[in-house]
Structure 1
Amino acid sequence: MSAVVIVGSGKSLLGRGLGKKIDSFENIIRFNPSDEFLDDRRYKSDIGSRMTIFSFNTNRLILNLIERKIVKGNFIKEHKELSKVLCTYGVRKKILEYIKKTRSGRNIFRYLRKNDMPHELLGHRDALHKLKKIIPPPYLPKRRPGRRAPYMAFTAGFQAVTHALERYDEIYLCGFDALHALHQERQETGVHRRINGHFYGGSSVSNRAHSLKSEAKMINKLIQKTNKIEII
């Protein structure tokens, strides 16, 4: 039986001592830039120290940072267990074309090919196609009028979940704050927890582009429908 743990970057990871359990998995997916904290003693007991699959999202700023990290840094040498890189992108069709045309994008994928590092592009539409095979709508809410894309986009974490559904028999999730909060609400009467930050800083997931609450509900449906997903 193949199994994977998908480690979200949320604050719900902290104080739970999941580090050893996370590191015990053969396949471990982590997201940029949480990889930069794997050697940080403050977090080791909670987040672990191993990573076999690295995922990053794409926009111009992120691509430039990833180029510095992967192409100009020692990323692959430092993470010797790394077996695959995932690149996620959003709703608009032109994004994939943009990624491949930018200097940083070309350099990243050229470097990965040169170093025989398997990599895969995961798009919002790919995730939606996989989702439609398993659960019916609704999926994500519409964005406010005036936005280029009419609907919100799936986060990299959710795209990793739909990606894993086709590749693994067992999927374990942790560090998904909205999902963790939803389950805490059910366990603790009258308690409503809003957790929307990353453990490595004060940043939070954009509520303009993503709906963590909707994603948490969809993951719950996937848990019930597939019997392959477990929250740890």
Structure 2
Amino acid sequence: MILDWFYEEGPRGPENWKNICAIFHKAENESLQSPINLKEEEVTAEMDGNLLAFDYHATNFRSSFFNHTVHLNPVAGEKINHVVFNHKRYTLEDIHFHLPSEHLINSQQFPLEMHLVHRSAKNELLVIGVVAEPTQVPLNKKLAKIDNIALNPRNAARGFVVPILLNQLLPEKRTFFNYSGSLTTPPTEGPVEWLVFKMPVYMRQGLLKAFEEQIGKTNRPVQERKGRPIYLADK
């Protein structure tokens, strides 16, 4: 059964997702929810940045459009990409986008947030959040190709395959917040290990405009922290 949910206010908007069905209700009530406002002044403790390591490669991704946004998934047979966090290995399985950013960084919202979704061998989820700001020109030709083909919402549903250098999607300065939360789309179940970079990356202004015009608002509002610890790692 397909259950429609939306980002606009109303009976199927974010404030009412938990009322759509029992599965959504259970997920929201039994998990600490995401996204949240990540404030340096509220950090519980510092974390060793060396607990996070990337094993990313140039990889072909296929674009698609579902759950109101653009998704990129590794093409079958490609070399597997991993991150290791706190001595546990997670495999990258999906990249998708929210507009504007779902997490706030020191109470600031950004035009876009990219989520890199990873899963461990024990089915545990780790999501890396990368916020983005606009730039007038692409940073290099490879990123321009990604912008123009794979990420443009008009093209995504056509299933383009495009090579991506994953490390180029991450900020140069990799200070990150860490906390435990949930998925940000229904069912918003947890736990999800969240790593959110403090510094933004830069995305072409034209691509952000295409997202705004063709997708519109795709962010869940911030949720209550409810006393959970937040860690900050300077990497």
- TM-score bracket, normalised by the shorter chain, equals under 0.3
Larger relative strand fraction:
2
Q: Which has the higher contact order (CA 8 A, sep 6+)?
A: 2
TM-score for the superposition, normalised by structure 1: 0.24
Larger relative helix fraction:
1
